[in-house]
Structure 1
Amino acid sequence: MPSAEIAGGGIAGLVASIQLARNGWSVRLHERSDALRAGGNGLPIFENGLRVLEAMGLGDVIKTRGHQLNKWIIRLSTGQTTHEYEPFAATGGRIVMFQRQALVDPLAEAAVKAGVTIEVGSRVIGAERDGVLHLDGGRRLEADLVVAADGIQSVVRKSVAGVLPLGKHRKGAIRLLIPIHPGDFPDGNDRVAIEYNDPGGRRIGLLPCSSQTMYMILVGLLSDSDALKMPIDPELWKETFPTLGRYIDRVGTAGHYDEYHSVFPPAWHYGKCVLVGDAAHGMTPALGQGANSAMMTAYSLGSSDLLKGSLSDALTAWEAKIRPLVHFTQKFAEGITEGRLDPRNDIFFSDPALRPLLSADIPNMRFDMPDMNAVNAPSRGLA
């Protein structure tokens, strides 16, 4: 039985582990933390990510753990509505909000059921291209495949591909979950996501993950250091967004801060080592496609016949099919973050070039994944 060692117990690592185990691999997954904790975040899962879950037999998770949206509203900082979108009409598919932990937990359960060995408190410190994973404490593990799912700062990627420059972008974000209070949805519809945008670059997103919990994100330019300091200055944010005081007052000292980064490795595989998720294609969150793209690359890797012929040829074919689409997504998200594509932030659902991504036929994508090299960039252009 072929063996795989996976670095990283997040969404990408779990999806890859499940698919590899179901396809006859002996899989061990290493998570550096002492538990598979996902942090206090929410995330939108679009049609492409939802089809991954369904293809994995986890469609029930969408209904039992997710919160499907029926409207997305974009407003100015004053509260004036500029756009309203209905997800199916705008993207060709669904948008379902999850608390991140609510997605990690069923994926972990499915991994264990598939026979994956999960080792928590297992800190990966390096790797070798010939299929070796090095752990803190001196353990040296040999495998037929090493999967790097250890994030944008991937230790495995650094070991096998060298130190690569990370794209540092002009924005950062404070993320947290807040409780939903009576009156938050006056019309009774708690399946509405709302973005508030200020011309100075600040943004607040309010995205319900359930009827009890809302994902809140506060975005600012890196040059706007007062807005991005932790804990937040509530009066500063309320001055910019005068209609949102009831939500801002719930933040307190909660939240964690992230700067926006991206990475474009020259290749996604090196010998017996392969990169997935943010380790391969970290992107800015402007399209909400980080987790969705990670699920796609991890699922397609684990579902590929990696042992038919040479591993190198199989990985090359896998990367050639899926990378053009993910690369396009990275560059599109980067263009929005940098203000090159629609500074009003209303491009989120507006360009037909995104349709192949948001409604990709995941179960068949090893064969039918659209080639984004043949898709023209939008007229506003990618700088």
Structure 2
Amino acid sequence: MEDVVIVGAGIAGLATSLGLLRLGVSSVVLESADSLRTSGSALGIWSNGWRALDAIGVGHILRAKYNKLSGIVITSVSSGVQTAELPFRDSHTQGGDLEFRCVNRRVLLETLANELPIGTIRYSSKVVHIQSEDHAKSIHLSDGTVLETKVLIGCDGVNSVVSKFLGFSTPAYAGRTSVRGFVNFQDGHGLEAKFFQFFGKGVRFGVIPCDDYAVYWFITFRPSSLEKEMVEDPAKVKQLVLSKLGKVSDKIMRVFEETELENMVCAPLRFRYPWEMLWGNISKDNICVIGDALHPLTPDIAQGGCSALEDSVILVRLLARALKRNDEGNEHHAITEALEKFARERRWRCFDLISTSYIVGYIQQSDGVLLQFF
């Protein structure tokens, strides 16, 4: 019998396990792959994500590796003319800056994993069936192993087995495709510490320095029927990306041209309909879901990783309190109550993030003259 079993060794899963450890609660993390899933290039982390990383004790480790960006520069794809430059300012704090850094996903996962005791993450552990056994849950793995747990937390991404068990539908296709890439320049990239974003012609792309040498980039677009066939071939994907860049500077073009094919990831964008947050089972009995398993959203406001970290910290604080009560007879009730409180706290937050992200992406990638002007 385990106290807590977490399905998925991604950002949400590892952050939850580490957060629980900091508060004296052990857990087991089940990962279907045979090692950490380090694909995905990089991700932007805003102030809310850094507060969560500070809460679990790794913020200082990551800050030392990545540059803080001062603002965003917006440029037209059609004309190549810069249309705006905005500093990152916190509207809630007079004179305060928003903290935004771009973090290598592999480094983030390894930083979290290195803080956990050896054996916490069990690789090659694919969950195939979940079964209720009185107050416990039985988790059946593909190799025949069966674990029992007091608490089951699903952090297993957009194709989550746990969210399906709770009754959530398969995430919907947003109608757009995303290509992400990561490139290291041995001689330095020469870019300012700013978020460079480009709009126009139904395309949205960005270039974000991580440090003085590494650069992350992304591009999202609505693929034609011909382009949907091209995205299966990495070489064709790169040519497709280069054809959509429009008028950009040589420094920006160099970022895309020098990205190796193996450092690119192409995938359709998926999201959960926001109204599912209002009536879906975020928690049920002693099971809950967080991160992409709960609220997959389009990447248009860079809150996927940040909101997963938020989920982790809030859940950990509520759950640790319930598990550390010295009342064995009411432990299950305390766990259920903690998960229900988590669901109430996160329901509208998730609704807001999913809706905002989708609407921002819809506006920014519109081909219509009116919406482009807006």
TM-score (norm 2): 0.82
Question: Conserved in 2, the CA contact under 8 Å of 1:173 and 1:259?
Answer: yes
1:195 to 188, 194, 197: 197
Unaligned runs of 5+ in 1: 348-379
Q: Take 2:172 and 2:364, find their aligned partners in 1: how far apart are those partners?
A: 16
1:247 to 244, 250, 255: 255
CA distance 1:180–1:192, change in 2 (3 Å): farther
CA distance 1:213–1:184, change in 2 (3 Å): closer
Q: Take 1:205 and 1:175, find their aligned partners in 2: how far apart are those partners?
A: 10
Indicate the residue corresponding to 2:341 in structure 1. Answer: 317
1:290 to 304, 307, 311: 304
* Residue 224 of structure 1: how far off its partner (Å): 6.6
Q: Take 2:225 and 2:257, find their aligned partners in 1: how far apart are those partners?
A: 21
Listed as ranges, the matches of 1:268-283 within 5 Å are 268-283=282-297
1:171 to 176, 188, 202: 176
Q: Take 1:269 and 1:283, find their aligned partners in 2: how far apart are those partners?
A: 19
Indicate the residue corresponding to 2:216 in structure 1. Answer: 215
Q: Take 1:152 and 1:235, find their aligned partners in 2: how far apart are those partners?
A: 26
Superposed CA deviations along residues 124-153 of structure 1, whole A, max 9, x for unmatched, are 223235422221111111000011000011
SS of residue paired to 1:164: coil
Indicate the residue corresponding to 2:81 in structure 1. Answer: 80
Indicate the residue corresponding to 1:306 in structure 2. Answer: 322
Tell me the amino acid that sits aligned with residue 69 of structure 1: L
CA distance 1:148–1:236, change in 2 (3 Å): closer
Indicate the residue corresponding to 1:369 in structure 2. Answer: none
SS of residue paired to 1:128: strand
Q: Take 2:20 and 2:340, find their aligned partners in 1: how far apart are those partners?
A: 17
Indicate the residue corresponding to 1:262 in structure 2. Answer: 271
SS of residue paired to 1:82: strand
* Residue 286 of structure 1: how far off its partner (Å): 0.6
Question: Conserved in 1, the CA contact under 8 Å of 2:31 and 2:124?
Answer: yes
CA distance 1:120–1:328, change in 2 (3 Å): same
* Residue 258 of structure 1: how far off its partner (Å): 1.5
* Residue 79 of structure 1: how far off its partner (Å): 2.3
Q: Confirm or deny that 1:125 pairs with 2:133.
A: no
Question: Conserved in 1, the CA contact under 8 Å of 2:153 and 2:288?
Answer: yes
1:155 to 146, 161, 175: 161
Q: Take 2:367 and 2:98, find their aligned partners in 1: how far apart are those partners?
A: 25
Listed as ranges, the matches of 1:322-361 within 5 Å are 322-339=346-363
Tell me the amino acid that sits aligned with residue 245 of structure 1: M
Q: Take 1:202 and 1:341, find their aligned partners in 2: how far apart are those partners?
A: 6
Q: Take 1:184 and 1:118, find their aligned partners in 2: how far apart are those partners?
A: 36
Tell me the amino acid that sits aligned with residue 253 of structure 2: G
Q: Take 1:318 and 1:213, find their aligned partners in 2: how far apart are those partners?
A: 37
Unaligned runs of 5+ in 2: none
Q: Take 2:11 and 2:178, find their aligned partners in 1: how far apart are those partners?
A: 21
Q: Take 1:183 and 1:116, find their aligned partners in 2: how far apart are those partners?
A: 38
Q: Take 1:289 and 1:236, find their aligned partners in 2: how far apart are those partners?
A: 24
Q: Take 2:260 and 2:68, find their aligned partners in 1: how far apart are those partners?
A: 28
Q: Take 2:149 and 2:65, find their aligned partners in 1: how far apart are those partners?
A: 34
| RMSD (Å), alpha carbons | 2.8
Question: Conserved in 2, the CA contact under 8 Å of 1:234 and 1:249?
Answer: no
Q: Take 2:270 and 2:240, find their aligned partners in 1: how far apart are those partners?
A: 28
SS of residue paired to 2:60: helix
CA distance 1:261–1:119, change in 2 (3 Å): same
Q: Take 2:304 and 2:103, find their aligned partners in 1: how far apart are those partners?
A: 14
2:110 to 105, 108, 124: 105
Q: Take 1:44 and 1:163, find their aligned partners in 2: how far apart are those partners?
A: 27
Listed as ranges, the matches of 1:25-104 within 5 Å are 25-77=25-77, 78-89=79-90, 93-104=98-109
Q: Take 1:239 and 1:57, find their aligned partners in 2: how far apart are those partners?
A: 41
SS of residue paired to 1:25: coil
Tell me the amino acid that sits aligned with residue 11 of structure 2: I
* Residue 222 of structure 1: how far off its partner (Å): 3.2
Tell me the amino acid that sits aligned with residue 4 of structure 1: V
SS of residue paired to 1:111: coil
* Residue 164 of structure 1: how far off its partner (Å): 0.7
CA distance 1:125–1:239, change in 2 (3 Å): closer
CA distance 1:124–1:2, change in 2 (3 Å): closer
TM-score (norm 1): 0.80
Question: Conserved in 2, the CA contact under 8 Å of 1:126 and 1:156?
Answer: no
Question: Conserved in 2, the CA contact under 8 Å of 1:203 and 1:220?
Answer: yes
Question: Conserved in 2, the CA contact under 8 Å of 1:285 and 1:333?
Answer: yes
Tell me which moved more, 24-33 or 43-52.
Answer: 24-33
Tell me the amino acid that sits aligned with residue 246 of structure 1: R
Superposed CA deviations along residues 328-375 of structure 1, whole A, max 9, x for unmatched, are 11111011223389989xx9xxxxxxxxxxxxxxxxxxxxxxxxxxxx
SS of residue paired to 2:89: helix
Indicate the residue corresponding to 1:351 in structure 2. Answer: none
CA distance 1:8–1:233, change in 2 (3 Å): closer
Superposed CA deviations along residues 1-50 of structure 1, whole A, max 9, x for unmatched, are 96111110011001111122333333111112221132151111100000
* Residue 205 of structure 1: how far off its partner (Å): 1.1
- Matched residues, percent identical? 23
Tell me the amino acid that sits aligned with residue 271 of structure 2: S
Q: Take 2:31 and 2:125, find their aligned partners in 1: how far apart are those partners?
A: 5
Q: Take 2:361 and 2:223, find their aligned partners in 1: how far apart are those partners?
A: 12
Question: Conserved in 2, the CA contact under 8 Å of 1:26 and 1:116?
Answer: no
Superposed CA deviations along residues 60-111 of structure 1, whole A, max 9, x for unmatched, are 1232233211121111113211121211357852101101111111111222
Indicate the residue corresponding to 1:366 in structure 2. Answer: none
